[in-house]
Amino acid sequence: MSTEPAPSLFDAGWYRHARRRESPHFDARPPGSQVELVVLHGISLPAGVFGTEHVDALFMGRLDTGVHREFAALEGLRVSAHFVVRRDGALWQYVSCDQRAWHAGVSRFGARQRCNDFSVGIELEGCDDVAYERAQYESLGALLGALLQAYPIRAIAGHSDIAPGRKTDPGPHFDWSFVRRASALPRAALPPFA
């Protein structure tokens, strides 16, 4: 029986089981900040359309805003997330977990503002009107387990929880009971309805 520790699933904040895409939209976390929160989002471009490369293009700073009328409002937007879970469960990573991705915007968790400073953002390809896929939950569960082992995460919230009135994702079809089971965090560490 080996006494060597298991190899880390992260290398400089990059998850070994994700396709690595390096977004230019990130910066350093403030000194002394650590990852204590996971924020779950839902995203599709255009809204309700899945399987396009538009989300990837947005996070990579290459979205052609002229290809769809909905995209005009995204002109010049600099946004990213740490991870995207596609409908088939494929996992892509855009920013190292050790860096600050720009996913939460104006936000508050408890008494703390600026959630980007102390969170990891996970985007699930989806929208408020459609249930997420089983493959997405399987990938999300594995990722949450790895994050909880590697970082001092104390809570998981939806974008709607940290930006109420401004955001609605991951939406009413998101299965919070899955997150409760997969994370094994205390009930108080999840949204009240989870």
Residue-wise pLDDT for 110-168, tens only, equals: 999 999 999 999 999 999 999 999 999 999 999 999 999 999 999 999 999 999 999 99
Percent share of the chain, pLDDT over 70: 95
Q: Are 94 and 81 in contact (CB under 8 A)?
A: yes
pLDDT at 194: 63
- Which residue matches tokens 């490369």? 53
Task: Identify the active-site residue in 4, 36, 75, 123.
Answer: 123
CATH of 10-43+78-185, one of 3.90.420.10, 3.40.80.10, 3.40.50.720, 3.40.718.10: 3.40.80.10
63-76 pLDDT, tens digit each: 999 999 999 999 99
Domain boundaries, the chain: 10-43+78-185
Reply yes or no on whether 36 is catalytic: no
Please report the pLDDT score of residue 187 as a whole number: 87
Global confidence as pTM: 0.95
Rounded to an integer, the average pLDDT of 81-105 is 98
Angle between helices 176-183 and 134-150 (to 10 degrees): 40
Residue 76: is it exposed, middle or buried by C-beta count within 10 angstroms (0-12/13-18/19+)?
exposed
